[in-house]
Amino acid sequence: MRSPQNTAGQLQAVLKFSTQGMGHGHFDRLSLSVYDHGNEIIPDYGAARFLNIETKRGGRYLPENKTYAQHTIAHGAVVLDQRSQYKGNVKYSEEHVSQLVKNDMSNDRLQVTIAADTMAYDGTKLSRSITMINDTDISNRPFIIDLYHVNSATGHQMDLNYPFFGDIIDTQFDYDRPVNKTVLGTDNGYNHLEVLAKGSPKPNSTNSQFTFLQAQRFYSITSVTDPSTELYITQTGANDPEFNLNLQRQYLIRQPSGSMNHTFVNIIEPHGFFNPIQETVTFPKSAFTDLTHEQQGDYDVVSFKIGEEVYLYTLSRKRDGKNNHTITYNGKSISWDGPHQLIKL
């Protein structure tokens, strides 16, 4: 997805639902990468390899390619029970492919892609919808609504990972930093992530927010959270004796063990600017508040506020081609034409 090009640059998003990619492919179905103005914001890790640099094991793939880079946790995707997709088995993964559910790029104002996967984890359907919104009447920068549905017959620990480049600016949640080095897990790439901070939503709050600065722009991830949600900031480098891994940080949102059906709801928002020459800052804080989500059958209903204005984003996840839709929101009947709509209330 690409927003229209303008003087502020171009926001781009990639939702990956392709095949495995042969022997060195990664277990990263339904992963998200985000780029802005030519810079990586939420990156895809890529391979653990120093190409043709002989001092790094002859320039070949490094051991960490199999122990970290190929694993799901190295990417912007959901991980269940700290296990990589498709059991971490390349041959099994090559037999299956994710499915495109819906794709609509016909209007720059609302670009939507939905993809699903039913084989990455046994008895579980994963579905992710990415919507890029470009409406200058709402925001002077485009933004992304990210909805990730997990539906399972059994309970799981669910981790949604957002790798990011940049400096941490603000966290609208409470956290503690461990005194001693703590590693996030024991295998499947978790063994290479050092825990920099562990947090939880603020009391009586249904939203958490994480803001970082990259390439002189601010970026915020606003999330729907509940009291059971755990929030982590991690960094590569654990169990990496030869310093083979690229230094990269991650913002991880966790629903603890026992969750069966859950939707991760996030808005990814570029905003503001930092001028290091003039030493000035504009709009360093997120404009979004009061983010909520309802699921009404096959409809996603997302509401949020920008200033005092309330907006409703409605999305049909069915492929039936139906044009007219109706839901009930706060006791009121709301209708719209087309598979999705952004409505000012």
Summarised one tens digit per residue, pLDDT across range 315-335 is: 987 766 667 888 889 888 988
Q: Whose CA is closest to 1, among 82, 75, 107, 119?
A: 107
Burial class of residue 241 (count of CB atoms within 10 Å of its CB; 0-12, 13-18, 19+): exposed
Q: What is the DSSP letter of 47?
A: -
Structure tokens, 71: 């694993």
Angle ∠(17,190,252) on CA atoms, nearest 5: 65
Structure tokens, 316: 């049909």
Structure tokens, 203: 């009391």
Residue 340 amino acid letter: H
Q: Beta partners for 340?
A: 315
Global pTM? Answer: 0.94
Element (H, E) at 94: helix 90-94
Q: What percent of the chain has pLDDT over 70?
A: 97
Structure tokens, 301: 């209903």
Summarised one tens digit per residue, pLDDT across range 132-152 is: 999 988 888 999 999 999 999
Q: What is the DSSP letter of 345?
A: -
Q: How far apart are CA 39 and CA 282, in angstroms?
A: 19
Instruction: Count the Cβ atoms, other than its own, within 10 Å of residue 290.
Output: 12
Angle ∠(14,281,266) on CA atoms, nearest 5: 35
Contact 158, 255 (CB under 8 A): yes
Confidence at residue 22, expressed as pLDDT on a 0 to 100 scale = 62
Which of the listed CATH numbers 3.90.1150.10, 2.70.98.70, 3.30.1490.20, 3.40.50.300 matches domain 11-344? Answer: 2.70.98.70
pLDDT at residue 167 is higher than 70: yes
The residue whose two tokens read 């998200």 is 32
Contact 201, 229 (CB under 8 A): yes
> Under DSSP, is residue 63 helix (H, G, I), strand (E, B) or coil?
helix
Summarised one tens digit per residue, pLDDT across range 87-123 is: 999 889 989 999 999 999 988 999 999 999 999 999 9
